[in-house]
C-alpha cells in the first residue's frame, strides 16, 4: 500500500512539473488578461522576421524633448501604459512603445528571445529615426524591467527607470513555487541581474511597498548588481502596479518625475 501511494505521489509530482513546463508561456505571457487596444487604427513595427507589432508614439510639443521607450508588464497593454506614463511626465517627453507578440494587435507568440530581439530593434529604430539628437531613456514596468535591462546592456542609453523590478524570473518563480525544480523547468529566465551589471547608464528603481508579486528580496538582489544606482524609492502602501491606476495620477507623477530627475 505504501509503495502504491509513493508511486502515485511521484506520478502526480511529475505531472505538476510537466504542466508547469508546457504551460509556462501562458503563465508568463498572459496576453489574454491584458486590456484590448483602444483603437484598430494603430501603427506597426516590422520585426526582423517580418512579424508586425502594434506600436504607439506619444509626442511632446517640445521638438527637442527627450525620448523614452517604454516596456510594459506581462498583463498590460503597452499602448495604454505608455499613455499613462506620458501624462505622468506632463507630456514633456516623447514616449514610444510596442506591444509584445500576441498582445493587443501584435502578431506572433512571445518568448524571451523574440521579446528581447524585438525590443532592441525597436529601440534602435527610435534612436535613429526620431529626434536623434535627444537623450534616449528606457523605462520598464514589472516584466518590462527585464526587457529594459537587456536592451540597455546591448545599446548605450542615457538612463533607465525600472518600476517593480526583479533579479530574474527564475528566482521569482522559485520563491513562488518552492516545491518545484524551477531551475530545470523554466525556459524564459529574464536574468536582469546578469544583464544590468554591464549597464553604465544611471538607474532609478521604483518599488511597491506592498508588492504581492515581486518580493523585496528579489529587487534587493537586482540592486546589488547595478553599477550606477541613482535612485531607489519605495511607494508606501502600494501593490505591484497599483500606482499606475488613474486614481493615483498625482502620486505617480511625483514618483516618476523624481526618478527621471535622478538619472538626468
The pLDDT assigned to 223 comes to 98
Cβ-in-10-Å burial (0-12, 13-18, 19+) of 238 comes to buried
The pLDDT assigned to 23 comes to 82
The pLDDT assigned to 177 comes to 87
Q: Could you give the domains of the chain?
A: 2-263 (3.40.50.1820)
The pLDDT assigned to 182 comes to 86
C-alpha 99: how far from chain center:
11
3-state secondary structure of 105: coil
3-state secondary structure of 45: strand
CA angle at 163 for the pair 158 and 167, rounded to the nearest 5°? 90
Backbone angles phi, psi at 30, to 5 degrees: -80, 70
DSSP state of 127: H
How confident is the model over 18-41, as pLDDT tens digits?
A: 767 778 898 899 999 899 998 777
Read off the pTM: 0.94
Q: Give the residue ranges of the chain where pLDDT is below 70.
A: 1-2, 4-10, 12, 19, 131-132
Percentages (nearest 5) of helix, strand, coil residues in the chain: 45, 15, 40
Q: 101 with 25: CB under 8 angstroms?
A: no
Amino acid at each position: 500500500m505504501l509503495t502504491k501511494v509513493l508511486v502515485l505521489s511521484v506520478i502526480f509530482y511529475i505531472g505538476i512539473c510537466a504542466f508547469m513546463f508546457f504551460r509556462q508561456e501562458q503563465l508568463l505571457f498572459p496576453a489574454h488578461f491584458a486590456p484590448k487596444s483602444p483603437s484598430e487604427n494603430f501603427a506597426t513595427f516590422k520585426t526582423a522576421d517580418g512579424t508586425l507589432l502594434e506600436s504607439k508614439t506619444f509626442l511632446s510639443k517640445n521638438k527637442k524633448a527627450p525620448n523614452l521607450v517604454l516596456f510594459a508588464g506581462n498583463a498590460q497593454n503597452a499602448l495604454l501604459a505608455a499613455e499613462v506614463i506620458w501624462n505622468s511626465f506632463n507630456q514633456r517627453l516623447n514616449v514610444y512603445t510596442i506591444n509584445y507578440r500576441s498582445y493587443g494587435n501584435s502578431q506572433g507568440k512571445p518568448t524571451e528571445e523574440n521579446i528581447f530581439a524585438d525590443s532592441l530593434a525597436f529601440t534602435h529604430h527610435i534612436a535613429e529615426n526620431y529626434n536623434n539628437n535627444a537623450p534616449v531613456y528606457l523605462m520598464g514596468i514589472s516584466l518590462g524591467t527585464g526587457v529594459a535591462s537587456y536592451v540597455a546592456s546591448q545599446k548605450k542609453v542615457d538612463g533607465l527607470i525600472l518600476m517593480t523590478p526583479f533579479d530574474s524570473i527564475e528566482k521569482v518563480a522559485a520563491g513562488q513555487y518552492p516545491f518545484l525544480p524551477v531551475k530545470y523547468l523554466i525556459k524564459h529566465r529574464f536574468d536582469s541581474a546578469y544583464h544590468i551589471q554591464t549597464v553604465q547608464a544611471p538607474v532609478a528603481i521604483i518599488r511597491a511597498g506592498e508588492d504581492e508579486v515581486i518580493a523585496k528580496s528579489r529587487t534587493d538582489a537586482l540592486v546589488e548588481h547595478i553599477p550606477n544606482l541613482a535612485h531607489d524609492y519605495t511607494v508606501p502602501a502600494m501593490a505591484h502596479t497599483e500606482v499606475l491606476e488613474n486614481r493615483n495620477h498625482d502620486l505617480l507623477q511625483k514618483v516618476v518625475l523624481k526618478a527621471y530627475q535622478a538619472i538626468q
